[in-house]
Amino acid sequence: MADEKTVAETAAAAEAPRRAGAGRVVTTLVVVALLVACGYLGYLVWQGRHLDELRRSATEDASRLVVQLATYDHQDVDANLDAVVAEATPGFADRYREVSEGLRELLTSGQGTSTGTVSHAAAQSVDDDRAVVLVFLDQEVTNVTVPDGRMDSSRMVVTLVRGGDGWLLDAAELA
């Protein structure tokens, strides 16, 4: 019987380090899994905040750029043209110059003025390089035909592309 105890005790003594080693491996795997999960969740939170900031900045810039597009004074058409072109992509700037050249004489002879205000704007889609923003624009227009003015309301789809620290106007279409 003494031999049986000795064999059992010897087997138990040999088993203890193996169990301790297995416990350490399981603990290590659990800690690693928790660290990976925390890292991934942290990335998701950061990404969500980053997209929120892009949406906010795109919406603000689109609103400001649409106001620039919609605001003009027949006495200084070039100031409006220069302001819009300064914050536009080269392609949009070229198209805007073409359209503005045709309107310059009309605005001057008709004594046209306009003041644009944005009532609502929201980002439809956004990523690091491009944003599409929906804008509701009110435009108070006066000219020789409507000396007391009239209010025009428009919906616009504005496409912006990333340029430097902000957004550049790439397209503005009536919706």
78 vs 42: which has the higher pLDDT: 78
CB 100, CB 94: distance < 8 Å: no
Predicted local distance difference test score (pLDDT) of residue 151? 96
pTM as predicted:
0.76
Predicted local distance difference test score (pLDDT) of residue 35? 83
Predicted local distance difference test score (pLDDT) of residue 7? 61
Alpha carbon distance 93, 158 (integer Å): 14
Tell me which fold the domain 3-174 belongs to: Nuclear Transport Factor 2; Chain: A, (3.10.450)
- Predicted confidence (pLDDT) per residue in 87-111, tens digit: 999 999 999 999 888 888 888 889 9
Query: Taking the domains of the chain in order of start, what are their residue ranges?
Result: 3-174
Q: Which of 32-36, 86-90, 158-162 has the lowest mean pLDDT?
A: 32-36
- DSSP secondary structure string for all residues of 105-153: HHHHHTT-EEEEEEEEEEEEEE-SSEEEEEEEEEEEEE-SSSTT-EEEE
Predicted local distance difference test score (pLDDT) of residue 6? 67
